[in-house]
Amino acid sequence: MDKQSRDTYSTIRERIVTLELPPGSLLSESSLGASLGLSRTPIREAIKRLEREDLVAILPRRGIVVTEVDLKSQLDLLEFRRGIEIRLIRRGAERASAAQRARIAEIATQAEACAASGSLSEYIAHDTEFDAIIEQAADNRFLTNAMKPVHALVRRFWHTQRGRSALPEALVQHAKVIRAAADGAPERVEAELSALYDRNENYILGLMT
């Protein structure tokens, strides 16, 4: 995938994650191309990648549709994260350099402030940088590649939960994960992540009843 296709993918993905393109939206290569000022080729490549990541589906006689936010899938993602994400962040926390750990500490402070104010968009920006540092420190492309599509699906779910008390509570708990990584404490990372997963699982099960 060339740079234009990657940029196109990132732009459409962001619109889906932030609900600018809400679940159930019907899309077309021509309408996306017109809105982005691009030919169909980078649009087509981006759509193929988004389909693999379960953010869009290509349906016969309907075209391209943004997938629904499925609660059962969120539970499945939590099960996946209990293995892969814990391993990735633990490894990153263990291997981070002093400079990386210092930056993570700054991100933790920023994330804590966003969690207190409930500012999801700003929180995600800081969390995205945290993920990038952890991935660089962990230096395991298989763990990194496994987690990349998960981030988008999880963040889109939390965008649907704006205005609910569970959102700032989840952000506060996640900020504890970042702080543990900044402190270079892998056991605490795992404990805080497990607490986050437990909280989120109970919340999602409550939504399903």
The dihedral sign for the CA sequence 95, 122, 27, 3 = negative
Residue with the two structure tokens 């019907």: 26
Quote the distance between the C-alpha of residue 151 and its chain's center.
Answer: 2
Mean per-residue pLDDT of the chain: 95
What does the pLDDT look like over 16-66, one tens digit per residue? 999 999 999 999 888 898 888 888 888 999 999 999 999 999 988 888 999
**Terminal-to-terminal C-alpha distance of the chain:** 42
Residue with the two structure tokens 């963040």: 155
What does the pLDDT look like over 52-94, one tens digit per residue? 999 999 988 888 999 999 999 999 999 999 999 999 999 999 9
User: So what's the pLDDT on residue 1?
Assistant: 64
**Rounded mean pLDDT, 179-191:** 98
Assigned token pair, 6: 């990657």
**Per-residue confidence at 197, pLDDT binned at 50, 70, 90?**
very high
Answering whether pTM is above 0.75, one says yes
Tell me the CA distances in angstroms from 155 to 19, 58, 101, one per residue in order.
Answer: 10, 22, 24
CA angle 33, 38, 43 (to 5 degrees): 60
The dihedral sign for the CA sequence 47, 22, 74, 78 = positive
